[in-house]
Amino acid sequence: MKVLPAVDIRGGRSVQLVGGRPGTERVEIEDVAGLARKWQRDGAEMIHIIDLDSAMGLGNNEELIENVIGVLSIPVQVGGGIRTAAKVHRLFEIGCERAIIGTRAVQDRSFVEELAEQYSDGIVVALDSAADRVLIKGWQESSGKDIFSVAKDLESLPIWGFLYTNVDVEGRLQGINPTPISRLIRETKKPVIVSGGITTRSDLALLRGMGVDSVVLGMAIYTGAVNFKRVVREFS
């Protein structure tokens, strides 16, 4: 199981929000590239970057993301507001390993299919969930669809797999809800990355036992609840 550090970017800084809501920042770091290099030194196999401004329709941090990719020797996966083919093409041009598509993937199956055919195993579909319903537009709206039906519909496409984020527990440091994760893993043959609420070594051990491909750690490693170097050695 890979352990990936989250680098969420808002206003040119790395932040950690509670439930993805602006104004709830508990962590703000100016040197985003330096932060990414630190996680690489600490043993990260991949960096997980989310452009929060782009996800919320408030601009983008594409130039900064390109700079971050340029200073690293490990792969990067990028998500947040990726709703056009041009943006996907641009991300791969600047060295992105995987592009994470959420809103447009839920709304337009043919969009995902076309990109997945072009970038084999480079497309990850984001299943951002509240009460098992997929959220869109930077977690601001519900799509009305449940995560399991969306996964079932899209897993036949040549995508890499799914990123499941439980927004109900995101950033709260209160642990995970294993029930939807377990069901999702049972119902799809694609790899699953899990994010949201991971707080302790026990959470990580439970996820590894479920067969999760990768986990994304955010608030837990920024607040010291989890020692990143230690869990990378233990679980990767």
* Confidence check: pLDDT of 138 > 90: no
Q: Is 155 helix (H, G, I), strand (E, B) or coil?
A: coil
Confidence at 19, pLDDT banded by 50, 70, 90: low
The enclosing domain of 58 has a CATH number of 3.20.20.70
For 57-89, what is each residue's pLDDT tens digit? 899 999 999 999 999 999 999 999 999 999 999
Catalytic residue among 53, 128, 146, 203: 128
Amino acid letter at 171? G
Query: How far is residue 225's CA from residue 23's CA, in Å, rounded to a whole number?
Result: 22
128 is catalytic: yes
> How confident is the model at residue 135, as a pLDDT?
86
Q: With b meaning 16 or more CB within 10 Å and e meaning fewer, what string describes 138-163? A: bbeeebebbbbebbeebeebebbbbb
Task: State how far the alpha carbon of 40 is from the alpha carbons of 6, 44, 48, in Å.
Answer: 12, 5, 11
Query: How far is residue 153's CA from residue 66's CA, in Å, rounded to a whole number?
Result: 32
- What predicted TM-score, i.e. pTM, was given to this entire model? 0.94
Average pLDDT, the chain: 93
Query: How far is residue 236's CA from residue 1's CA, in Å, rounded to a whole number?
Result: 5
Confidence at 137, pLDDT banded by 50, 70, 90: confident
Q: Which residues span the domain enclosing 60?
A: 2-235
Number of domains in the chain: 1
